[in-house]
Structure 1
C-alpha cells in the first residue's frame, strides 16, 4: 500500500454525487448563518438607533427564518454526511478485512489478535475521519472563510488588518507542535493495542487463570496497563489542550485589537455601531474555518500514525495468489495426490522439510506419521494451499495446485484438525458452514454419522465452542467434513480428544463412508491407522515409506 493519503481519496470517487450534495447543503447552511450578523447590523443601525419598530420586527422575522432554515439544512446535511462517512468507513474496513482473509496462518500466529482489532477499529476509523473530513471540512471552511472575509471587507477594510495580523503566528505555532503530536498519538495507539491484546488473551484463558491461580497477577497487570494508557492519554490530551488553546488565545487578542481599532472608528464617525458588532460576530465566525484549516495540520499527523498502522496490515504479503485463469478439476477426478520434490521454509528460515516425494493413489487410506513438530500439519497446509512450496510442486489428479482456484481446491480437500475452529451459534449452523445450501436432513445425517446428533442440532455451542467438550468439538468438525463430501479427507489428529472406543468407531465410520476416496490420516495411535494401504513417515529429508500389514 502506498503510504500516503492520495490513494485513499479514491474511496470518495464512487460517491462524488453524495460529496457534492453534502458540500452544497453545507454551503447553503453556511450562507444562511452568514446572513444573520448582517441582519443584526441592519436591526441595530436602521431599527434601534433610528427608532423604527417596523425595521426591528422585520429584521427579527428574517433572523428567525434564517435560523430555522439553517437548522433544517444542517439536519439534512448531517444525515447525508453521516451516510457518506459511514459508507467510506465500512468500505475501508471491509478492504482491510478482505486482505486479512487472504493472509496465511503464520501471520495470525505471530500477530496478537488485540493488535489486529485495534488497527481495524480505532486506526481505520481515524484514517476514514481524516479522508472524509479533510475533503468536506476543508472545502466548507474555505467557502465559509471566503464568504466571511468578503462581508468583513465590505463592512470595514481597515479592521481586516487588526483581525488577521496574528494569523502567521498561529500557522508557525501549529507547524512547530505537529511532530510532538505525532509521537504522542503513536504511543497512545500502541498502549490501546496492548490493552486490547491483553483483554482478548485473558478472556480466552479465564479457565487457565482460575486453575493456576493467576487472577491476582492478571488483575495487577491489567491495572498497570490501564495506568500506562491513562498516563499516555493525559499527556496527549494536555498537549492537545495546549495546542488548541494557542489559536484561541491569539483569536482573543485579535478580537481585542478589533474592538480597540473599531471603537476609534466608531468615535470618529467612520463606522457605525451595528457594523462594528457585525464585524466582531463575523470575526468569531471566521475563527472557526481558520482553526479548522490549521487543525488539519495536526489531524494529518494523527491520521498518518493510524495510516501507517493500517498500511502495516495491508502490506502483509499474501502467501498464495489465485491463478488468473484457473483450471477446473476433471469431472472424473478421484483425489490422487502427488508430491514432487516438495520443499518449504517459513520466511526464508531453515527448511521445515525438503525433497518430499510421494504418490498417494486415489481412493486409498494413507497414514502420515512423524515426530512432533516435524511439519506434518505444514505439509497439509501446503495441500490445502495456505502456502505454496518453495521447491517442487503438489498435484491433485495431475493438476498443479497453483493452477486451481483455491476456493474450489479447499472444497474438494477437507481437513479435520486437532483444533478445528468452532464458531458461536448452534451445532447445525456450524455444520452448515461446509455447505450453506445443504438441507436439514443432510445436516442431520452428517451429525448422526459423526456421533454428535444426540446433542441436538439447535444446541448452542458457545463462544469458540467452549460449551462443548474437546471430543464434541472434534465430532462437530468431522460432521462438517462429511457434509462437504470432498475428494480428499485429511484427519489431522482429528479423534485425539475422544476415548479409544469412540475413536475406533469414528475411524471405522470414516473408512466406510469414504471408501473409494482418498483419506490421509495423521495420528499417533496405531489402531487409527488400521487398514492404511500406505504409511509414510515425514522427516526433514522427505517422506519414507513404512511397512504396513493391511490394505484398504
Structure 2
C-alpha cells in the first residue's frame, strides 16, 4: 500500500502554513517573534496563530520601515509652519516666506503620495493574512469529526470564521505597525515639545499616567462587552440560518409566527448588547478626549499669556500645539490598541474554543457486540455487504471511520485484509466513495456539482452516470427563462439542490460518487427517498459494473430492492452498545 509522500489536503495549497501547533521541541529556543506572539496573544493561541503570522514577518518589517519614514515626514510640517510664521511673516522676510512655504507644500505632496502607497501595500498584505487565517480555520473545521458538527450552530460558526477571524487578523496585523508607529511619533512629539518649551512639555506629560490608569480600569469591561456582542451575533445568525434552511417546511407546517417571534427575540437581545457596548465605547473614548481637551486649553492659555508678554514667539506656540497632538494622538492610539487587544482577546477565546472542539475525540464504539464476542470485523474485497440495525444504533458512526480515521472504534476492522488504521488518509479519501443520506449540492450547474470530487471526469462519463441514475432525461433539453442551455450539464441547480426533489438530489450525489475511481462504495441510506423500482434498477447496474469493488449499504426499508448481499452485519440496539471510557 502506497504511503503518500506529502500531507493530504489544504497543506499542499498553503505550503508551510499548516505547521502543527506546538511543534517546537521543549529544548528548542523560542525566537523573539514567538515570544512576542505569546505576549500579545497568549501561549495557547500563539501555538496555532504564530505559524500563520510568521510568513508575513518581512512584509511587516517593510511596512514598519515605511511607517517610520512617514512618521519622520509628519514631524517636519509643524516646525516648517513655525519657520513660515516667525522667520517669514513676523520677520517680514519675503524670501524666507516663499522658501518655507514651498518646502511645506512639497513635503505635503510627498506625504500624500507616500500615504497612498502605504495604504495600498498595507491592504494587500492585510487581506493576504486574513485569507491565510480563514484558510487554516476552514481547514480545521473540514478535518473535524462529523460528530462535532452536530453540536454546532451554523450562524455561530459563520460568526467565528468571519467576524472573530477578522477581529484577530486586524489586531495581529495592525498591532505591531500601529504600535511602533505610534511609539515613534510619541517619542518624536515629546522631544519636539521639550525643544520648543520644556516647562510646558512637562505639564503636557502629566496626561499620560491619568489616561493610562483610566483605561486600565476600563479594559476588563471592554473585553466582556466584546465577547457578549460576538456571542449574541452568532446566536442571531444561527437563528436566521435555521429559518432560511427550513423556509419551505416552516411555511408548510404553519410555523411562521413562532419563527418570527424567535428571530425578533434574538434581535432584541443583540440590540441590547450592541447598545450597551456602544455606550461603553463612547464613555471610554470620551474621557481621554475630555482630558486632552482640558490639557490643550491649559497649554493654549499659558502659552498665549507667554506670547502676549513677549516671552515666546507666536509660531512656537502654534508648533507646540501641533506637536502636542503628536503626543496625545499616538498616546491615545497606544491606549486604544490596548483596548483593541481586549476585543481581540474575546475573539481569540472563541477561536480557541473552535480549534479545541474540532480536535476532541469521541467515545469509541465497541465492536464486541456486533459479531458475538469477537472484536475483529473483516470486510472482504469485492463483497456486497449490508449494514443493518435499528435507527440510532451507530451505523453512520461506524461508517464514518472509513472517511475520518479517528479512534471511534473499540476493536479491529480489516478492510481488504488490512487494518483500517493502516490505511493512509490519502488512500481512504481516494479509494472510498461515501454517499450519505443527506445529499450535499451547491448552487451551480449540474457539471459543477458532478465535478466537486473528481474534476478530471469527461463530459461523456458524466452523462453516462446521469443516465445510470435516471437523471439524464430530467436535465436534457431543459431551458431557463431567457437562456439557452446547450447541454444537460449546464442546467442550473438551486442552493442545496432546492430545485430538485429529495430523490433527485440523492441520485445526483450518487452519480458524483460513481465518477470517482473507488475500490469501496458506501451507500448510507443514500437512496432512501427513491422509489423501490428505481433503486432496484440502479443497484443492479452498480452490482454488474462495479462487481470488483466492495459495496457497503445501509437501509432501513426496501432491503429487497437492493438485491442479494454477500454479507450482513447486524448492529445491536443502541442500549446494548458499550462505550469505552
Length-normalised TM-score, structure 1: 0.89
**Alpha-carbon distance in 1 for matches of 2:514, 2:190:** 73
Q: Which residue of 1 aligns with 2:88?
A: 47
Residues 314-350 of structure 1: per-residue CA shift (max 9 Å, x gap): 1225378xxxxxxxxxxxxxxxxxxxxxxxxx44799
Q: Which residue of 2 aligns with 1:526?
A: 559
The change in CA–CA distance for 1:117 and 1:7 in structure 2 (over 3 A counts) is closer
- Following TM superposition, by how much is the alpha carbon of 1:285 offset from its aligned partner in structure 2, in angstroms? 2.5
Task: Decide which moves more: 117-126 or 161-170.
Answer: 161-170
- Following TM superposition, by how much is the alpha carbon of 1:309 offset from its aligned partner in structure 2, in angstroms? 0.4
- Contact 1:362–1:518 at 8 Å: present in 2 too? yes
- Following TM superposition, by how much is the alpha carbon of 1:73 offset from its aligned partner in structure 2, in angstroms? 0.5
**Alpha-carbon distance in 2 for matches of 1:433, 1:73:** 45
Q: Which residue of 2 aligns with 1:502?
A: 534
Q: Does 2:229 align with 1:210?
A: no
Of 68, 78, 103, the match for 2:109:
68
Q: Which residue of 2 aligns with 1:472?
A: 504
Aligned length: 517
Structure 1 unaligned blocks of 5 or more = 321-345, 543-552
Q: Which residue of 2 aligns with 1:142?
A: 183
Q: Which residue of 2 aligns with 1:219?
A: 260
- Following TM superposition, by how much is the alpha carbon of 1:194 offset from its aligned partner in structure 2, in angstroms? 0.8
Q: Which residue of 2 aligns with 1:391?
A: 410
Of 394, 404, 419, the match for 1:375:
394
Structure 2 unaligned blocks of 5 or more = 1-20, 22-42, 476-487
Task: Decide which moves more: 204-213 or 310-319.
Answer: 310-319
- Following TM superposition, by how much is the alpha carbon of 1:191 offset from its aligned partner in structure 2, in angstroms? 0.9
Q: Which residue of 1 aligns with 2:478?
A: none
- Contact 2:434–2:523 at 8 Å: present in 1 too? yes
**Alpha-carbon distance in 1 for matches of 2:48, 2:451:** 39
**Alpha-carbon distance in 2 for matches of 1:9, 1:251:** 37
**Alpha-carbon distance in 1 for matches of 2:388, 2:56:** 56
Residues 138-191 of structure 1: per-residue CA shift (max 9 Å, x gap): 000011111111211111111112212232111100000011111111111111
What are the equivalent positions in structure 2 for 1:122-137 lying under 5 Å apart?
Answer: 122-137=163-178
Q: Which residue of 1 aligns with 2:514?
A: 482
What are the equivalent positions in structure 2 for 1:98-109 lying under 5 Å apart?
Answer: 98-109=139-150
What are the equivalent positions in structure 2 for 1:355-504 lying under 5 Å apart?
Answer: 357-454=376-473, 455=475, 456-504=488-536
Q: Does 2:36 align with 1:17?
A: no
Structure 1 runs of 4+ aligned residues shifted over 4 Å read: 4-7, 348-357
Q: Which residue of 2 aligns with 1:549?
A: none
Task: Decide which moves more: 19-28 or 258-267.
Answer: 258-267
Task: Decide which moves more: 455-464 or 121-130.
Answer: 455-464
**Alpha-carbon distance in 1 for matches of 2:343, 2:365:** 36
Length-normalised TM-score, structure 2: 0.84
**Secondary structure at the residue paired with 1:457?**
helix
**Secondary structure at the residue paired with 2:529?**
coil
Over aligned residue pairs, what C-alpha RMSD do you find?
A: 2.2
Task: Decide which moves more: 152-161 or 115-124.
Answer: 152-161
**Alpha-carbon distance in 2 for matches of 1:55, 1:319:** 73
Q: Which residue of 1 aligns with 2:155?
A: 114
What are the equivalent positions in structure 2 for 1:218-367 lying under 5 Å apart?
Answer: 218-318=259-359, 346-347=362-363, 357-367=376-386
**Alpha-carbon distance in 2 for matches of 1:422, 1:11:** 31
